Amino acid sequence: MAVVSTKAIVFNTIKYSDSSLIVKCYTLEDGLKSYLVRGVLKSKKGGIKVGYFQPLTQLNLVANHSEKRSLHNIKEVHIANPYKTIYQDIVKQSIVMFLAEVLTHAIKEEEPNKHLFSFLETAFSWLDIHDKVSNFHLLFLLNLTQFLGFYPDLSEKEKLGFDLMEGNFTDDTSQKNIIYKNDFYQFKKLLGINFDSIENVSFSKQERQQVLKIIVRYFELHLDGFKTPKSLQILEAVFS
């Protein structure tokens, strides 16, 4: 058993008994960890509040991490970076619900990855302070693939299509998982850019939905057991 002080980002919560939660977090020091937070659903003054565990909240934790257990204990918790807009804005809330679900399915490693943690922390802070965010989730997902090991190979960008299975450009547009023509053109707009450039990328509603479907398909092809997130429908409704 080790007492660890770490930054953490909440991925999801599951109700456990009438008064407790199991909280899955991605931590800076130890990667993915699940915590049993007892009594948090019974309101009491002081102590740990349920509001700390909304999706993608950034926390500072002091916790007991045990190699023998799958559920760990939180001793202290504070919000590290209080969001100003994310939980008040219906569009940002929908994006956050969707991305939290994707991250829960996509990240399985228990070991730490400080570059990935820094990417998540920076991305969600960016989302909180910017207004034009309708393409944020598209670029977030695509750039997340850098840390998951299947970012598109950007050599040979002049070819006619992109092979979602192989993750590279190709002139053979007859195969099953190859995008070309308008799908390919829209997908390419997101490659090699950062969040500050996202405001300059324009999609129609149909194009945005189509690009999102392509990226979700890309995840399904490269991650074992990855399923289309249930919250995708909510996100599509918000943007339609």
Helix (H, G, I), strand (E, B) or coil at 183: helix
Tens of pLDDT, residues 69-121: 999 999 999 999 999 999 999 999 999 999 999 999 999 888 899 999 999 99
pTM over 0.85: yes
Tally the C-alpha atoms within 13 A of residue 95's C-alpha that lie toward its C-beta.
23
pLDDT computed for residue 47 by the predictor: 80
Q: Give every CB contact of residue 125 below 8 A, 6+ residues apart in sequence.
A: 58, 81
Distance CA(181)–CA(173), nearest Å, equals 9
pLDDT at 44 > cutoff 80: no
pLDDT computed for residue 197 by the predictor: 94
CA 169 to chain centre: 25
pLDDT computed for residue 175 by the predictor: 87
Q: Which two tokens stand for residue 155?
A: 């050599």
- Report the percent of the chain where pLDDT is more than 70: 99
- DSSP 8-state code for residue 13: E
Q: How many helices (H) and strands (E) does the chain have?
A: 6, 8
- Torsional sign, CA 60, 28, 98, 107: negative
Tally the C-alpha atoms within 13 A of residue 228's C-alpha that lie toward its C-beta.
10
pLDDT at 168 > cutoff 90: yes
Split at pLDDT 50, 70, 90, the class of 138 is very high
Task: Between 76 and 43, name the one with better pLDDT.
Answer: 76
Split at pLDDT 50, 70, 90, the class of 1 is confident
Split at pLDDT 50, 70, 90, the class of 148 is very high
pLDDT computed for residue 240 by the predictor: 81
Q: Which two tokens stand for residue 105?
A: 């399915």
Q: Which of 125, 113, 142 is nearest to 215 (CA)?
A: 142
Do 127 and 133 touch, CB atoms closer than 8 A? yes
What is the set of domains in the chain, with CATH numbers? 2-79 (2.40.50.140), 90-239 (1.20.1440.120)
